[in-house]
Amino acid sequence: MIADVAQILLRANGAALCVRRNPDAALAPGKLTVVGGHLKAGEPLDLAARREAAEETGIQIDADQQEFCGLVHHHEPGGTDRITAVFVAQSWTGEPHNAEPDKHEGLFWVSIEQPPSECHPYTSHIFHMLTHGPSYRALNWPVRGGSA
């Protein structure tokens, strides 16, 4: 299993900052995705999300500016499962910019209520979780069992 973090940078108008992955990226090529990445060994979830935001966008988030929103557990048939801790910040220090041009084509503000079709499905699911709940979502798991 892979442990990931997502740091949603949210404007008051309901727009969230996404990165567009380069077309040759191994994961989600050419798609809009939330800011985030892998958890490092021994790293707290909230710190990892703030670190990823700084690495990808150049902004700084203080711990008191960040809110935990939920978990997404994604099952990839025949692949590796991922669990993502999702955090939101509505304020930060600095102006967001593409701090990883080797990985991303740019930054884009998108509606979390109506994400564009270029958003990776995982990102769209995270936005749906934020706007509609619940705070835990299991994605792509096979239906098991039956009625008792």
Residue 148 pLDDT level (bands cut at 50, 70, 90): very low
- Global pTM reads 0.90
State CA 100 to chain mean position distance: 16
Beta bridge partners of 73: 83, 138
Q: Cα 64–41–18 angle (5° rounding)? A: 55
CA atoms within 13 A on the CB side of 29: 4
Cα separation, 87 vs 8, in Å, equals 6
Cβ burial, residue 108 (10 Å; 0-12/13-18/19+): middle
pLDDT at 141: 78
Domains for the chain: give ranges and CATH numbers. Answer: 2-139 (3.90.79.10)
User: Strand pairing of 136-139 and 66-74?
Assistant: parallel
Which pLDDT does position 147 carry in this prediction?
Answer: 47
Q: Which residue's entry shows tokens 């304020």?
A: 91
Q: How far apart are CA 14 and CA 113, in angstroms?
A: 7
Task: Kindly state the tokens that stand for 131.
Answer: 């706007």
Q: Is the pLDDT of residue 95 over 60?
A: yes
For residue range 103-121, list pLDDT tens digits in order: 999 999 999 999 999 999 9
Higher pLDDT, residue 75 or 18: 18
Question: How far apart, in whole angstroms, are the C-alpha atoms of residue 63 and residue 6?
Answer: 15
Q: How many residues does the chain have?
A: 148
